[in-house]
Amino acid sequence: MQVDVSIVIPVYNEEESLPELENEIAKALGGTYNYEVIFVDDGSSDTSWQQIKKLSDEKEFIHGISFSHNYGKSVALQAGFEKAIGTYVATMDSDLQDDPNEIPEMIQMLKDGYDLVSGWKKERHDPISKTIPSKFFNFVTRKVAGIELHDFNCGLKAYKSEVVENIYLYGELHRYIPMLAKKEGFTRITEKVVKHHPRKYGKTKFGLSRFMNGFLDLVTISFVQKYLQKPMHFFGTIGVILLIIGSGINLYIAYIKLILGQGI
């Protein structure tokens, strides 16, 4: 059977969300597309994998990949990309904050000629300790990448299959998929404002270490893209970026400790 859309979903300790998420995907895409869902369990310590197995046993178009350890979102996405067989590939988070009803319109935008459509959570339902670093991150990434997106790290994205076939993810590179796609010649990149729901179960996995590791990967990508062409310009730009990043991190730490009264 020809698969129109492969939906790749990294999972880490989201046992309560999975049955509801699968049901929402079915309502959004069923009857419109032949689709498959690829859940990638990234070393969950709860019953997420058992939930995935149950769903895949019940429905042949649901597939599961299980990691014995927590390797991170990039590795989970890469495993899903390698298994996907759809003409188009969509990604979303497993915590019910992304809305599957956005996917059909994003796929239509790909049919209209775009290579990659990135979601923009214009109205976010996240704590301020997550939204402030995200705004700073997106500002810096937008300047470095030269791509006018507001939400690089939005988990809800759609791609032509050729895009995911030509990029390789590791570390925290899932945050920079538009940059990687542009590097490989996929320049028709746009964004779509998407709904963002409040978290229903569990708690956010966001932490300061992920924020800092993400910026280190941003430096790596910038180096690869620009160093060989203009090394002096590259190092001058990186110096300014590192100064901005360092100042931003210091302000964020001060805010967490002094205003929120939380430990780091």
Residue 221: inside a domain: no
Tokens for 238?
């990186």
- 249 CB-near residues (< 8 Å, 6+ apart): 211, 212
Residue 175: inside a domain: yes
Residue 248: inside a domain: no
Closest CA to 178 of 189, 162, 168: 189
Residue 16: inside a domain: yes
Q: How far is the C-alpha of 257 from the C-alpha of 173, rounded, in Å?
A: 29
- The beta strand positions in 12-115, using DSSP E, are 35-42, 62-67, 88-91
- pTM of whole model > 0.75? yes
Q: Return the number of other C-beta atoms located less than 10 Å from residue 144's C-beta.
A: 20
**What confidence tens digit (pLDDT) does each residue in 170-203 have?**
888 898 899 999 999 999 999 999 999 988 887 7
Tokens for 19?
């049955």
Per-residue burial over 110-140, b = 16 or more CB atoms within 10 Å of its CB, e = otherwise: beeebbbbbbbbeeeebeebeebbbebbbeb
Q: At which residue do the structure tokens 């729901």 appear?
A: 197
The total domain count for the chain is 1
Residue 242: inside a domain: no
**Structural domain containing residue 35:** 5-202
Q: What is the CATH number of the domain that holds 133?
A: 3.90.550.10
Residue 264: inside a domain: no
Segment among 28-32, 157-161, 189-193, 251-255 with least mean pLDDT: 251-255
**What confidence tens digit (pLDDT) does each residue in 156-173 have?**
999 999 999 999 998 888
